[in-house]
A and B are shown apart, each in its own frame.
Chain A
Amino acid sequence: MYYSRLKMALVLGVCLAGLLLCLPNGLRKPVPSIPWRQVHLGLDLRGGSYLLMQIDLKSLTHDRLQALADNMRSTLLQAQLGYRNITVDTDKSAVTFTPRVPSETEADLAVLRKMPQAAPHEFTVTAGPNGTIALTLSPEAMEARARSAIAQSIEIVRRRIDGTGAIDPEITRQGDDRIVVELPGVSDPERIKNLLGTTAKMTFRLVDANPMHASAPPPGVTLLPMYDSNDSTTLPVYDHVDVDGTSLTNAAATIDSDSGGWAVAFSLDSTGAHAFSDITRAHVGERFAIVLDNKVVEAAVIRGPITGGNGQITGGFNKDSATNLALMLNAGALPAPLTVVEQRTIGPSLGAASIRAGMFSLATGFVLVIVFMALFYGRFGWYANIALLANLVLMMAILSLFEATLTLPGMAGMLLTLGMAVDANILINERIREEVARGRSPLNAMQVGFERATSTIVDSNATALLAHVMLFVFGTGPVKGFALTITIGIVTTLFTTLFLSRLLMVRWYALTRPASLPV
């Protein structure tokens, strides 16, 4: 029953701090004297696009195995060992081959086990039962690769989106292989989807000139389609990558001086430029293909060594496709393809309508509850109403403090909290009423009422808290916002009812010393 000055100051202080934290949401410009944290509006309230993208981890493994197969070939050739049927099996995450003669198995194993590994214990080389040799990637190494691929993808996605000038994009990781991209204000995400849906892995490889191979490529050569979808021819291109896109330092869309069409100019770093000049020197007269995501953009005949490390890609671009390609090359290649698995777009008009509907419902619900409490609980009901207002303020304050995102379901959560919040006050009031009916004095009735009601309040709120924490942990998207506001609401409710409205009741009693309670 007794509130020390300190306790009173604390309760009122928390409420005041809450009010201060709420202020930035109502003001337009930052004020230096108050902490500037605002509640963000969710995409459903401000309009925008939400993309959930999945990274293709299988292709990541496949790429690594392909590179290892390539290394195996050159390692074995160097050691003058022969091989047959090198095959990449992505499902088993292994590369297998058959030694030329069984007697070379031991030598093969020895040489391959000395191959450079990208990480410690990245792979193991073992002899299979039917005379084959298998190189198998370890699960740990694949996991590590996947982890870094996700981190890298997020970075590249960010750079690509920044290149489009989108405002406040939010890019976050979800689970093991997903990326969430939120784009406020973007009501047509098609361009961004195209940008993110392209891996933009660029490689420079030689074309196999043997006309026999144009239809039946030997191992180590693959028939690749053309980038230009109107061109249905395929080219036999070596799997071996001579220069790859990671050597690229800069790319820009330009006009090709010869043809007058759009082109993408690029420069290579010193390693790339060196490799480029070596290749072009050694293979004059052959065709050199520029391959983007396993499609041939261009395969020009090498006329002479190219030494400066600068080049140009022409391949039937228009302004948009050249600009997009330059943007993607600058941002870097995605380590693995991304596909959109979920997309939600909300137009700005719907968002504005939702805010209006949400605010109106919130205000109406608030008024209804206040009137109800006043009619059914009189003076103590008004104290509950003051606590309810403080509750609303504190909820907003906590949401602002965390700079949380308010969504439409979040607003529903607030409304529901308002309805549930007075439950604690009702419990206290009813209890006091009962105690008065049993003949207790006002002071005694209030004391016992608070005491008995508190255990009930804690029990009932704890169960609600449990249910909503579950919802927050397992829910996704809109449900998370709803669960968050309710969870915060339960905490603020406990504070405002157990401290604030109780303080008001106690102070009123101390000041007036009434002979009977208004219950």
Chain B
Amino acid sequence: MFGRPLLRFVRKDTHINFMRGRFAGLITSAVLSLASLGLFFYPGLTLGLDFRGGIVVEAKTPDNADFARLRHALASSGVEHASIQTFGSDKDVLIRLDTAAGQKTEAVVDTVRHAINEAQPGATVIRADAVGASVSAELFRNGILALVLSLGMILIYIWVRFEWEFALSAVITLVLDLTKTVGFLVVTGFEFDLVMVAAILTILGYSTNDKVVVYDRVRENLRKYRTMPLRELLDLSINETLNRTLGTSSTVFLATLPLALFGGATLSGFAWTMLFGIVVGTSSSIFIAAPLLLFMGEKRLRRGASTPS
């Protein structure tokens, strides 16, 4: 353990013919992404408070939550259509409320607090959030802007450092990763909020990182083996970097796993999404990004004159 490594993922003479599975990989990916796209339109993402606007109040009641009394107290102070549920234990109440445009969200929060205390004296408010409609629209716009700009920057960076085939296939792969992550969010019902935007961007960052490492090796091999067909060369590059790919995705996975298991309500959704993204991002480097590069670059990258600088 302190000298030579005890374990390794694949032997050094491993040669898996990944490119043989290129159609299967692309088709699976396309199907999953299309399904995700369908899920995005119906039933669609569960928008979190940040993007939907409204009110969320979490309270701990001294004894079991009394829904009837809570509902009555809320109704008598003019708050209608509140959703009341428990989470964790029977003493943890979650009250959710959508506010119509033009309504004073921040005033309603106080009304809800008073109503809780009236219905169940001794209850403590653990969390009370209110986001006005104008702010939520703006947060959403900023979130999407950050996403689009990140993708754009990644495209430009890879374009500058490599060739346009690399950049384009990376960005197409990233968009496919992104749609699958959205599908994951719809299926799991995790709320899509600002923290999730951060998760998605991190996945994109991680996935890009993974692709760059493979591409880096492809570029090196393109110079080294001037006559090797691109298909063989891609397979070689993937195999050579396979230990690294599996190693890094394992460490990131291991680092994120405790967060998913013990990170509490706020972060576990984020962490599960990250874990999903790590798996998708790692496999897409091999099964999507490389085949795409093969299709786009088979003619160009292997013609003697256009060897990358």
Contacts and interface: CB of A to CB of B under 8 A. Distances in A.
7 contacts: A342-B132, A343-B105, A345-B125, A349-B124, A361-B267, A426-B247, A434-B240
A360 B254 contact: no
Interface stretch (A5-13, A257-265, A469-477, A497-505): A469-477
A394 to B, nearest CB: 17
Interface stretch (B68-76, B175-183, B196-204): B196-204
A423 B248 contact: yes
Contact of B146 (A379, A456, A462, A474): A474
A52 B135 contact: yes
Contacts of B12: 433-434, 437
Interface in B225-278: 240-241, 243-244, 247-248, 250-259, 261-264, 266-267, 270-271, 274
A441 to B, nearest CB: 18
B205 A468 contact: yes
A102 to B, nearest CB: 43
B248 A463 contact: no
Contacts of B4: 378-379, 518-519
B168 interface: no
A419 B251 contact: yes
Contacts of A77: none
Contacts of A461: 209
B93 to A, nearest CB: 13
B263 A475 contact: no
Contacts of A408: 264, 266-267
Interface string B107-128: 0011001000000000011111
Interface in B178-234: 194-195, 197-198, 201-202, 204-206, 208-209, 212-213, 216-217, 220
A99 interface: no
Given A188-B125, A474-B149, A373 B243 contact: no
A519 B12 CA distance: 11
B126 A350 contact: yes
B161 interface: yes
Given A343-B128, A419-B254, A409 B267 contact: yes
A483 interface: yes
B150 to A, nearest CB: 4
A369 B256 CA distance: 10
B131 A342 contact: yes
A460 interface: yes
A346 B198 contact: no
A353 B109 CA distance: 23
A187 B57 CA distance: 12
Interface residues of A, number: 82
A274 to B, nearest CB: 41
A340 B106 contact: yes
Contact of B206 (A341, A364, A420, A452): A420
B299 interface: no
A460 B212 contact: yes
A1 interface: no
B76 to A, nearest CB: 19
A347 B124 contact: yes
Nearest to A347: B126
A428 B143 CA distance: 35
A84 interface: no
B130 interface: yes
B201 A468 contact: yes
A384 to B, nearest CB: 10
Nearest to A193: B106
A470 B149 contact: yes
Interface string A365-391: 110110011111111011000000000
Q: Which of A347, A381, A468 has the most CB of B within 10 A?
A: A347
Contact of A479 (B109, B129, B198, B267): B198
A341 B198 contact: no
A455 B202 CA distance: 22
Interface stretch (B22-30, B31-39, B151-159): B151-159
The size class of the interface chain B forms with chain A is 35 or more
A331 interface: no
A227 interface: no
A519 B109 CA distance: 60
A418 interface: yes
Given A340-B105, A368-B257, 15 more contacts: A364-B258, A365-B255, A376-B5, A379-B4, A409-B195, A415-B255, A422-B248, A434-B12, A437-B12, A459-B216, A460-B212, A466-B153, A466-B157, A467-B153, A479-B195
Contacts of A360: 258, 262
A381 B5 CA distance: 8
Contact of B205 (A358, A365, A378, A464): A464
Interface in A228-286: none
B7 interface: yes
A412 interface: yes
B305 interface: no
Contacts, number: 256
A347 B124 CA distance: 8
Nearest to A418: B255
A214 B241 CA distance: 86
Interface string A424-438: 001100100110010
Nearest to B253: A419
Contacts of B7: 375-376
Contact of A374 (B1, B105, B258, B266): B1
Contact of A474 (B145, B157, B206): B145
B3 A518 contact: yes
A239 B194 CA distance: 47
Contacts of A478: 194-195, 198
A379 B209 CA distance: 26
A204 interface: no
A346 B208 CA distance: 36
Interface in A313-344: 339-344
Nearest to A483: B198
Contact of A375 (B6, B205, B220): B6
Contacts of B149: 470, 474
A368 B153 CA distance: 33
Given A361-B259, A364-B262, A459-B216, A369 B131 contact: no
- Top 4 A-B pairs ranked by shortest CB distance? A419-B255, A419-B252, A340-B106, A364-B258
B254 A368 contact: yes
Given A378-B3, A474-B142, A357 B212 contact: no
A365 B256 CA distance: 7
A456 B256 contact: no
Q: Which of B134, B216, B217 has the most CB of A within 10 A?
A: B216
B6 to A, nearest CB: 5
A354 interface: yes
A374 B6 CA distance: 8
